[in-house]
């Protein structure tokens, strides 16, 4: 696992060096702790049950499934990435086997859920501010549903998701008083328009980083004209309003989001005192939870459990 893990901070020269050193040391200690205690995660087989449910959000009904792990005190709502996504039953099963209860649901307008789906497949914009806020409302409603379903049995509830969820989760976290933590896989910490500039530049090519440098990427994002015009969503706005602990997990070969710039923004937020952490896996790409390596999921699960223990 160690060959996949890197602890990296990419500060610009203007950042305070003392703050940089302090953050670097604290992250090293955190990650070493996680690495030495993840051995049995994933292999665990906690008993769990499954129940299909429906719940209301902004005038429509969403369909989902609750995975109840035996004697669980931790719950997670899985937030979708982009696309016509159904319930994430495979990921939910993995979490439940590790003692974490889960609510996963069909995205608005997909599967058994009501409402209208927004996305390029149907000729609409799925990352304009209105749609992202609507999806955040759905996630917030799911948190309330999970909380009401278990009552006082759950003492720690969080949001987890990947990719587009990197914009949705900070919005949803601020909308709900019941969110205690967030876990984001390959989620952008840059405005939506900046992410599109990067995505158009890489064209999704797997060998992109073999032929381009980080500086070329930054220059392009700074100077490229926008192909689309809409109100951008900047996750840093929501993150500055939040004191909810969060961890981001990134792949160094990602061609969907600008990882270097996202890490820069997290570092700046950490300087401001925000309880955020991140892990970088240099050899991995965008789809961390679907990777052959279980390292990102192991670290995420152990981070959640350690955090919940501190909160007792």
Whole-number Å distance between alpha carbons of 267 and 5 = 18
Residue 35: pLDDT over 80: no
Q: What is the pLDDT of residue 290?
A: 73
Q: What is the pLDDT of residue 29?
A: 44
Q: What is the pLDDT of residue 289?
A: 82
Helical segments of 118-258, H only: 129-150, 165-175, 192-202, 208-211, 214-223, 235-240
Locate 84 and state its tokens.
């016509």
Q: Where are the domains of the chain?
A: 2-188+237-310
Q: What is the pLDDT of residue 17?
A: 41
Percent of the chain with pLDDT over 70: 84
Q: How far is CA 96 from CA 42, 45, 73, in A?
A: 10, 8, 11
Residue 209: pLDDT over 70: yes
Higher pLDDT, 229 or 246: 246
Interval 214-223 mean pLDDT? 97
In sequence order, the 6+-apart residues with CB closer than 8 A to the CB of 219 are: none
Q: What is the mean pLDDT of the chain?
A: 87
Would you state the CATH architecture of domain 2-188+237-310?
A: 3-Layer(aba) Sandwich (3.40)
Give the model's confidence band at 123: pLDDT under 50 very low, under 70 low, under 90 confident, else very high: confident
Residue keyed to tokens 């899985």: 78
Q: What is the pLDDT of residue 45?
A: 63
Interval 26-30 mean pLDDT? 47
Q: Are 42 and 298 in contact (CB under 8 A)?
A: yes
Higher pLDDT, 9 or 245: 245
Local structure of 96: helix, strand or coil: helix
Residue 215: pLDDT over 70: yes
Helical segments of 49-164, H only: 89-97, 129-150
Interval 210-235 mean pLDDT? 95
Q: What is the pLDDT of residue 44?
A: 57
| Tens of pLDDT, residues 269-302 | 999 999 999 999 999 999 998 765 688 999 999 9
Angle at alpha carbon of residue 217, lines to 212 and 218, rounded to 5°: 145
Local structure of 278: helix, strand or coil: strand
Q: How far is CA 268 from CA 198, 252, 261, 265, 276, in A?
A: 21, 20, 11, 5, 10
Higher pLDDT, 250 or 45: 250
Residue keyed to tokens 């549903």: 145
Give the model's confidence band at 308: pLDDT under 50 very low, under 70 low, under 90 confident, else very high: confident
Give the model's confidence band at 311: pLDDT under 50 very low, under 70 low, under 90 confident, else very high: low
Interval 114-130 mean pLDDT? 92
Whole-number Å distance between alpha carbons of 196 and 258 = 10
Residue 7: pLDDT over 50: no
Give the model's confidence band at 309: pLDDT under 50 very low, under 70 low, under 90 confident, else very high: confident
Residue 24: pLDDT over 70: no
Q: What's the start-to-end Cα distance of the chain, in Å?
A: 30
Whole-number Å distance between alpha carbons of 264 and 248 = 12
Whole-number Å distance between alpha carbons of 233 and 128 = 7
Choose among 33, 2, 39: nearest CA to 298.
Answer: 39
Counting Cα atoms < 13 Å in the Cβ hemisphere of 270 gives: 28
Between β-strands 181-185 and 156-162, what pairing exists: parallel, antiparallel or unpaired?
Answer: parallel
Q: Are 117 and 108 in contact (CB under 8 A)?
A: yes
């Amino acid at each position: 696992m160690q060959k996949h893990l890197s602890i990296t901070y990419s500060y610009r020269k203007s950042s305070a060096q003392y703050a940089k050193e302090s953050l670097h040391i604290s992250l090293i200690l955190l990650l070493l702790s996680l690495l030495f205690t993840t051995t049995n995660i994933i292999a665990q087989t906690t008993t769990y049950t499954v129940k299909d449910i429906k719940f209301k959000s902004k005038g429509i009904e969403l369909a989902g499934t609750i995975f109840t792990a035996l004697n669980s005190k931790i719950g997670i709502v899985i937030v979708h990435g982009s696309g016509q996504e159904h319930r994430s039953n495979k990921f939910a099963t993995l979490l439940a086997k590790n003692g974490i209860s889960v609510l996963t649901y069909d995205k608005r307008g997909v599967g058994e859920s009501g409402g209208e789906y927004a996305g390029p497949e149907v000729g609409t914009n799925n990352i304009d501010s209105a749609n992202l806020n609507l999806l955040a409302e759905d996630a917030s409603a799911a948190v309330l549903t999970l909380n009401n379903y278990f009552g006082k049995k759950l003492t720690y509830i969080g949001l987890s998701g990947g990719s587009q969820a990197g914009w949705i989760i900070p919005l949803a976290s601020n909308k709900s008083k019941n969110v205690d933590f967030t876990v984001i896989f390959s989620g952008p910490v840059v405005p939506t328009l900046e992410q599109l500039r990067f995505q158009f530049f890489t064209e999704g090519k797997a060998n992109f980083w073999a032929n381009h440098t980080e500086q070329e990427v930054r220059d392009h994002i700074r100077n490229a004209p926008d192909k689309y015009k809409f109100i951008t969503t900047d996750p840093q706005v929501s993150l500055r309003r939040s004191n909810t602990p969060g961890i981001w997990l990134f792949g160094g070969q990602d061609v969907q989001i600008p990882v270097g710039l996202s890490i820069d923004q997290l570092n700046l937020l950490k300087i401001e005192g925000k309880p955020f952490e991140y892990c970088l896996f240099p050899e991995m790409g965008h789809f961390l939870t679907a990777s052959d390596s279980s390292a990102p999921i192991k670290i995420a699960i152990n981070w959640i459990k350690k955090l919940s223990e501190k909160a007792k």
